[in-house]
Amino acid sequence: MLNKSTTVYRANSITEIQTLMRNIAGISVAAGCTEIARRQTGRSLSLPTNVLSIAGIPDLCTVTKTERYIDFGACVTLSALLKLGKKNLPEILFDAVSGIANPAVRSLATLGGNIAAKGHRLSTFAPLLALDARLEVRTPLESYWIPMTRFFSNIGKEQPKFPECIYKIRIPADHWDISLYHRTGRPSFITDSTASFAFLVKTQKTILTDIRIAWAGKFFFRKREFENLIIGRTLPLSEKDMANLMDKSELFFDQLLFPESYNRACFLNLLESSLRMLT
Ligand SMILES: Cc1cc2nc3c(=O)[nH]c(=O)nc-3n(C[C@H](O)[C@H](O)[C@H](O)COP(=O)(O)OP(=O)(O)OC[C@H]3O[C@@H](n4cnc5c(N)ncnc54)[C@H](O)[C@@H]3O)c2cc1C
C-alpha cells in the first residue's frame, strides 16, 4: 500500500525514458525496486511522487562482448549475469554478484540499481571501480560517457538537479591473473558494516604489470598513486617490499580518508593478505 499518491510511468524504450525525464519534473528512476523496497521502514510504501520504471527495456537488458569491451545494459538482472557463467564475466564481478541477497531478489535486482543505490555503496561497486568501468548516462537533455569514479562522489551528489539515468556500464575485456573479492559484514544482507574489497593483478612473466585495489561501503576509494608504487615490481615481492608497502599504506589510506573503525581494520588486513599472495 502506498502512503501518498505516486504516479508510476513505464518506459518501453530508451527514447521514452528521455522523453519522460524531459516532461516530468523531478521524476525518479526505478529498476528492479529491490533496493527501494529494502529501504522502506514504514508499514506502507513511501515512494517519490513521480517514478519512472525502466525495468525490462530490451535495449537495457543486453550484454555485449567485443574484443576490447563488455557492455552491460543497466537493467540486466543479477540472475541473468550469473547465467552467463564465470567464463563470460570478469571473475571478480561474478563472485560479487553470487554473494548478493538470494535467487528471488537477484531475479529482479539490476546491475544499474546496484551501483546507483544511494547512501551505501553495494556489492558490485568496488569490483566495477577496480575494473575501470565507464557509464553511459542520459539526462533530460544530454547523453555522455563518464568514468564511474567521476560520476559518483563520496559527498553531495545524492540529489542531482535533474534526473540521471545510467544506460550502460562498460568495462575493458582484460584478463586478470589474480582476482579477489571479499565482503565484510553479514553475508547476503546489507548492514552498516557491509563493504566490498576488490583486488586485481596482471603479470607478465615475473613483472607485475597492473594492480587495482578498490573499496566501497559507506564511502568508496581507489588510489592510483598507491597502485603505481607496486606496478613494475619483480615478483615474488620480498619481505622488505611488504613492510615498505604496508608502511606506505598507512600514509595513502590515512585516518582522514578512512577513520579508525572495524572496516578500516578489515581493509588493512585484506590489503596485507592480498599483497602476501604476491610474495
Ligand atoms: C533481502 C535483500 C538482500 C539484499 N542483499 C544485498 C546484498 O547482499 N548486496 C547488494 O549489493 N545488495 C543487496 N540488496 C540490495 C538490492 O537488491 C541490490 O543492490 C539491487 O542490485 C538493486 O537493484 P534494483 O534494480 O532493484 O534497484 P532499485 O531498487 O530499482 O534502485 C536502487 C536505486 O538506484 C537508482 N537506479 C536504479 N537503476 C538506475 C539507473 N539505470 N540509472 C540511474 N539510477 C538508477 C534508483 O533510483 C534507486 O535510487 C538486497 C536487497 C534485499 C531486498
pLDDT tens digit sequence for 243-257: 999 999 999 998 888
Q: Distance, CA 33 to ligand 1 centroid (Å)?
A: 6
What would the 3-class secondary structure string for the chain be?
CECCCCEEEECCCHHHHHHHHHHCCCCEEECCCHHHHHCCCCCCECCCCEEEECCCCHHHCCEEECCCEEEEECCCEHHHHHHHCHHHCCHHHHHHHHCCCCHHHHCCCEHHHHHHCCCCCCCCHHHHHHCCCEEEEECCCCEEEEEHHHHCCCCCCCCCCCCCEEEEEEEECCCCCEEEEEEECCCCCCCCCCEEEEEEEEEECCEEEEEEEEEECCCEEECHHHHHHHCCCECCCCHHHHHHHHHHHHHHCCCCCCCCCHHHHHHHHHHHHHHHCCC
- Ligand 1: does its nearest atom lie under 6 Å from the Cβ of 77? no
Q: What is the pLDDT of residues 33-52, one digit of tens each?
A: 999 999 998 888 888 999 99
Q: What is the pLDDT of residues 98-111, one digit of tens each?
A: 999 999 999 999 99
pLDDT at 1: 59
Closest-lying ligand 1 atom to the alpha carbon of residue 188:
8
pLDDT at 158: 55
Q: Is the pLDDT of residue 91 over 60?
A: yes
- Ligand 1: does its nearest atom lie under 6 Å from the Cβ of 116? yes
- Ligand 1: does its nearest atom lie under 6 Å from the Cβ of 114? yes
pLDDT at 155: 82
Res. 2 pLDDT band, cuts 50 70 90 = low
Q: Is the pLDDT of residue 205 over 80?
A: yes
- Ligand 1: does its nearest atom lie under 6 Å from the Cβ of 113? yes
Q: Distance, CA 213 to ligand 1 centroid (Å)?
A: 23
pLDDT at 222: 96
Query: With pLDDT > 70 as the criterion, what percentage of the chain qualifies?
Result: 97
Closest-lying ligand 1 atom to the alpha carbon of residue 75:
41
Q: Is the pLDDT of residue 3 over 80?
A: no
Res. 161 pLDDT band, cuts 50 70 90 = confident
Res. 23 pLDDT band, cuts 50 70 90 = very high
